[in-house]
């Protein structure tokens, strides 16, 4: 199995001849079993430039020749002509986009970033440019910038084009893992499992996210790779819908690595999305293995809360908060737990603490809605429910 080639719909006036070039990330993937990728060509949502039709000025002439050079696959000449055209008309958005795209295709990532910077000043929030700048930043090692751009690009719809989705999500998932946003990373890897796209790189990436290792696959020590791939494989099996197969794989992993932290936790996180009840046992095992882990206690408390087992949730939420007093998940679990046990004042305080830091926290608003509803504050409950419905849109 391998990642599918990543291309995009060809915009009007853009030749396909330059698809002979191979982007560097494609080379790196190819070297690890992923087939060679074609040039990433993003659809630009504006029409073919007028200059391509009838040159009437030096700028139009340069732009026309740049387009022709690009169509002929002469990337070096196209880059030079686009650069000169931009000197004449720095607000030419399309020129900056193609300049960035061509430089990205030529492995000139710092120059590509610069071109996309110009483009995004003219067209802020343009999803294809954000994604391409993010991928360029990834190659230069500017991982925080890459994460920001890819996240915004995905939010703006950059991954909606099926042929671009794989490469964007793969890099986005790696960056999320590196940033410690493991659950978000797993969500991105789920896309591949749902489409039965599998390979050792994806397994390694998913294994890192599952075992909560803040690292990129390329930086993973060789001696750790086999184990992490096995973990990723078990996770992939689960995400692809084979729960029995995943259970067997996880049981084998746990039997072979009984004291390895995070294995129970990873399995619990996977189960949680289908059944918080089933996840509870896994988080309990993790807590037994790592009693000092606030995450394990918080997830256990949170799962118990979702399952409506509020009394049990309280203790683990308190344990998590003893180590990490600002952990939102534990505050919400404790707040809901206290509310169900009658301490609505302390419960509301905790939930409002969460909302002070994160005003759009859905669970905190849901908790307040429940508190107000139970205490007969109909108008307040209705207001909070409306907020929740708005957040859930």
Partner 1 sequence: MSAKFVLVSRSNFMRQVTRACMALLAVLLFQSPPGHLAFTQSPKPPAQPVTCATCHTGLVAAYAHAAMRNALESPGQDPILESHPNLSVHLGGYSYSVQTKDGRSTYTVSDGTDSLTLPIRWIFGQHSQTWVLEKDGNYYESLVSYFKLEQGLATTPGDGNIVPHSLNEAIGRKISVWEVIQCFNCHATDATDEAKLTFDKLSPGLGCKRCHLGAEQHMVDAVRNNFTTIPKPLKTMTAEDAANFCGQCHRTWESAVRNHWHGQADVRFQPYRLENSKCFTGNDQRISCLACHDPHQPINTNLAFYDSKCLACHAALKTSDPSSLAKTCPVGKANCINCHMPKVELPGGHAAFTDHQIRIVYPGDPYPD
What is the torsional sign of CA 154, 160, 163, 169? positive
Of 30, 93, 290, 362, which one interacts with partner 1 (CB under 8 A)? 362
Spatial neighbors of 160 by CB under 8 A, at least 6 apart, are none
Stretch that binds partner 1, among 135-143, 211-219, 237-245, 282-290 (CB under 8 A): 237-245
Of 243, 260, 318, 352, which one interacts with partner 1 (CB under 8 A)? 243
Shortest Å, Cβ 248 to partner 1: 13
Q: How many residues lie near partner 1 (CB under 8 A)?
A: 25
Residues 92 to 131 in contact with partner 1, rule: CB under 8 A: none
Is the distance from CB of 329 to CB of 305 less than 8 angstroms? no
Shortest Å, Cβ 6 to partner 1: 25
Of 241, 325, 342, 359, which one interacts with partner 1 (CB under 8 A)? 241
Residue 56 as a binder of partner 1 (CB under 8 A): the answer is no
Stretch that binds partner 1, among 96-104, 192-200, 274-282, 344-352 (CB under 8 A): 274-282
Is the distance from CB of 131 to CB of 165 less than 8 angstroms? no
Shortest Å, Cβ 68 to partner 1: 43
Residue with tokens 């998940």: 329
What is the torsional sign of CA 368, 374, 375, 381? positive
Stretch that binds partner 1, among 66-74, 109-117, 320-328, 375-383 (CB under 8 A): 375-383
Stretch that binds partner 1, among 191-199, 317-325, 344-352, 376-384 (CB under 8 A): 376-384
Is the distance from CB of 366 to CB of 388 less than 8 angstroms? yes
Nearer to partner 1, 241 or 325 (CB): 241
Nearer to partner 1, 27 or 275 (CB): 275
Nearer to partner 1, 31 or 392 (CB): 392
Residue 102: burial class (beta carbons within 10 Å; 0-12, 13-18, 19+): buried
Of 275, 288, 349, 357, which one interacts with partner 1 (CB under 8 A)? 275
Residue 378 as a binder of partner 1 (CB under 8 A): the answer is yes
Label each residue of 321-370 as H, E or C. Answer: HHHCCCCHHHHHHHHHHHHHCCCHHHHHHHHHHHHHHCCCCHHHHHHHHH
352-358 LR contacts (CB < 8 Å, sep 24+)? 354/328, 357/326, 357/328, 358/328
The two structure tokens encoding residue 361 = 């926290």
Of 244, 258, 259, 356, which one interacts with partner 1 (CB under 8 A)? 244
Of 277, 323, 346, 355, which one interacts with partner 1 (CB under 8 A)? 277
Q: What is the x/- site pattern for partner 1, positions 293-322, by CB under 8 A? A: ---------------x--------------
Shortest Å, Cβ 155 to partner 1: 15
Is the distance from CB of 298 to CB of 287 less than 8 angstroms? no
Residue 373 as a binder of partner 1 (CB under 8 A): the answer is yes
> What's the DSSP call for residue 13?
T
Residue 385 as a binder of partner 1 (CB under 8 A): the answer is yes
Nearer to partner 1, 241 or 256 (CB): 241
Determine the number of helices (DSSP H) and then strands (DSSP E) in the chain: 20, 0
Phi, psi dihedral angles at 239 (to 5 degrees): -65, -25
CA–CA gap between residue 368 and residue 128 (Å, rounded) = 39
Nearer to partner 1, 56 or 275 (CB): 275
Is the distance from CB of 239 to CB of 216 less than 8 angstroms? no
Residue 218 as a binder of partner 1 (CB under 8 A): the answer is no
Residue 39 as a binder of partner 1 (CB under 8 A): the answer is no
Query: Residue 358: how many CB atoms within 10 A of its CB?
Result: 12
Residue 52 as a binder of partner 1 (CB under 8 A): the answer is no
How big, in percent rounded to 5, are the helix, strand and coil portions of the chain?
70, 0, 30
Residues binding partner 1 (CB under 8 A): 241, 243-244, 247, 271, 274-275, 277-278, 308, 362, 366, 370, 373-376, 378, 381-382, 385, 388-389, 392-393
């Amino acid at each position: 199995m391998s990642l599918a080639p990543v291309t995009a719909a060809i915009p009007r006036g853009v030749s396909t001849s330059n698809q002979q070039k191979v982007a560097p990330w494609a080379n790196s993937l190819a070297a690890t079993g992923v087939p060679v990728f074609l040039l990433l060509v993003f659809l630009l949502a504006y029409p073919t430039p007028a200059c391509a039709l009838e040159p009437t000025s030096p700028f139009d002439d340069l732009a026309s020749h740049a387009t022709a050079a690009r169509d002929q696959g002469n990337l070096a000449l196209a880059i030079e002509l686009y650069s000169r055209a931009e000197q004449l008309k720095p607000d030419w958005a399309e020129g900056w986009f193609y300049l960035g795209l061509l430089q990205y295709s030529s492995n000139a990532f710092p120059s590509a970033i610069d071109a996309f910077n110009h483009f995004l000043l003219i067209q802020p929030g343009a999803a294809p440019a954000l994604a391409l700048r993010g991928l360029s930043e990834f190659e230069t090692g500017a991982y925080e910038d890459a994460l920001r751009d890819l996240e915004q690009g995905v939010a703006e719809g950059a991954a909606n084009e099926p042929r671009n989705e794989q490469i964007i999500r793969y890099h986005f998932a790696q960056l999320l893992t590196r940033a410690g946003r493991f659950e978000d990373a797993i969500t991105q890897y789920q896309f591949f499992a749902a489409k039965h796209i599998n390979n050792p790189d994806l397994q390694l990436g998913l294994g890192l996210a599952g075992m909560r290792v803040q690292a990129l696959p390329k930086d993973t020590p060789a001696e750790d790779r086999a184990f992490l791939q096995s973990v990723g494989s078990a996770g992939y099996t689960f995400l692809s819908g084979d729960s029995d197969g995943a259970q067997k794989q996880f049981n084998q992993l746990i039997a072979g690595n009984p004291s390895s932290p995070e294995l129970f936790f990873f399995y619990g996180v996977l189960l949680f999305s289908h059944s918080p009840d089933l996840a509870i046992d896994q988080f309990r095992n993790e807590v037994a293995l790592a009693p000092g882990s606030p995450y394990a206690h918080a997830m256990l408390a949170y799962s118990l809360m979702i399952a409506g087992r509020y009394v049990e949730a309280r203790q683990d939420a308190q344990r998590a908060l003893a180590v990490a007093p600002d952990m939102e998940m534990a505050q919400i679990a404790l707040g809901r737990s206290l509310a169900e046990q009658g301490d609505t004042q302390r419960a509301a305080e905790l939930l409002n603490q969460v909302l002070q830091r994160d005003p759009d926290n859905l669970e905190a608003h849901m908790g307040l809605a429940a508190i107000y509803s139970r205490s007969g504050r109909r108008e307040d409950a209705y207001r909070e429910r409306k907020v929740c419905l708005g957040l859930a849109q």
